[in-house]
């Protein structure tokens, strides 16, 4: 059964391919299964999993932190007897990738930090609070991204307008994926990311020993774009790539480009796979 005890909790995972371990993660394993696993499993041993509180993984009691998510990931690698892996993620998965690199630098062959920011500003924290209220009201959260400026009525959409009506969008709507397996789990995940802040660990971040790519969509929030670039400058030797004409859900919206950019980065650092 594709379940494993990791950091004291049961995680559900999937894997395909062989070679250098590449772990892609974020919220739920399903989106990666559609667009990333078929491509990357041609070159790597690709692993994805349901983060705690999503899909078929356990939802432990108490509040959660980003450090907890990174420890879960380390536990998954331990359970699979993997010493080092490429750690890639988008959104909360990008945050977890960075935390993993800081907490377990000897376990990461490379980091792909996608579609997130190095810390949440006060206005972004208020946006998280608004998303929690949406969940409590039974409405879907994170339809729009945080605003960058007070004069904006709303931030940019998470996904390209019209994507939900496309063939891919309609198909993805039939798959069970999301921020949490229930309201409580989704809210605890949002509370964890609300507290995200790399600034106290700036010196460690400047000395990350593995190759790092910071990835962002050109149609994400302007603050997300600028803060992602600042993040890149805070990690000497890192690469920065802005995917043109893509939103926060770029790995689904334009998987061909997303996969190409990530694979190219890995290849430049001797991790191109078989």
By CB atoms closer than 10 A (0-12, 13-18, 19+), residue 19 is middle
Q: Using a cut of 0.75, tell me whether the model's pTM lies above it.
A: yes
H or E element, residue 259:
helix 255-268
Q: Which helix (H) or strand (E) holds 10?
A: strand 9-16
- Decide: helix, strand or coil at residue 49: strand
Hey, what domains does the chain have and what are their CATH numbers? 3-268 (3.40.50.1820)
Tokens of 151: 């004069």
- pLDDT by residue for the chain (274 residues), tens only, comes to 599 999 999 999 999 999 999 999 988 889 899 999 999 999 999 999 999 999 999 999 999 999 999 999 999 999 999 999 999 999 999 999 999 999 999 999 999 999 999 999 999 999 999 999 999 999 999 999 999 998 999 999 999 999 999 998 899 889 888 889 999 999 999 999 999 999 999 999 999 999 999 999 999 999 999 999 999 999 999 999 999 999 999 999 999 999 999 999 999 999 997 7
Phi and psi, residue 109, nearest 5°:
-75, -30
Parallel, antiparallel or unpaired: strands 108-114 and 3-6: unpaired
16/81 Cα distance (integer angstroms): 16
Q: Give the whole-angstrom CA distance, residue 182 versus residue 227.
A: 31
Nearest to 205 by CA among 99, 127, 116: 99
């Amino acid at each position: 059964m594709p379940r494993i005890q990791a950091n004291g909790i049961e995680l559900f995972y999937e894997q395909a391919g062989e070679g250098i371990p590449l772990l892609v993660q974020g919220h739920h394993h399903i989106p990666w299964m559609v667009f990333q696993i078929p491509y990357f499993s041609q070159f790597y041993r690709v692993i994805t999993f349901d983060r705690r509180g999503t899909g078929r993984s356990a939802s432990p009691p108490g509040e959660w932190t980003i450090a907890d998510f990174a420890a879960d990931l380390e536990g998954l690698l331990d359970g699979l007897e993997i010493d080092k892996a490429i750690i890639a993620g988008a959104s909360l998965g990008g945050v977890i990738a960075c935390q993993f690199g800081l907490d377990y630098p000897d376990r990461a062959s490379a980091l792909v930090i996608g579609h997130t920011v190095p810390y949440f500003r006060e206005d972004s924290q208020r946006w998280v609070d608004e998303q929690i209220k949406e969940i409590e009201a039974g409405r879907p959260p994170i339809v729009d991204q945080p605003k960058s400026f007070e004069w904006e009525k709303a931030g940019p959409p998470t996904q390209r307008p019209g994507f939900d009506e496309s063939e891919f969008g309609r198909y993805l709507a039939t798959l069970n994926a999301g921020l949490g397996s229930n309201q409580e789990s989704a809210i605890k995940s949002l509370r964890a990311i609300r507290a995200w802040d790399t600034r106290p660990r700036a010196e460690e971040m400047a000395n990350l020993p593995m190759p790092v790519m910071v990835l962002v969509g050109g149609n994400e929030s302007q603050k997300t774009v600028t803060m992602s670039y600042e993040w890149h400058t805070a990690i000497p030797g890192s690469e920065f790539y802005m995917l043109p004409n893509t939103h926060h859900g770029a790995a689904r919206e334009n998987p061909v480009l997303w996969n190409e950019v990530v694979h190219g980065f890995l290849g430049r650092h001797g991790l191109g796979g078989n």
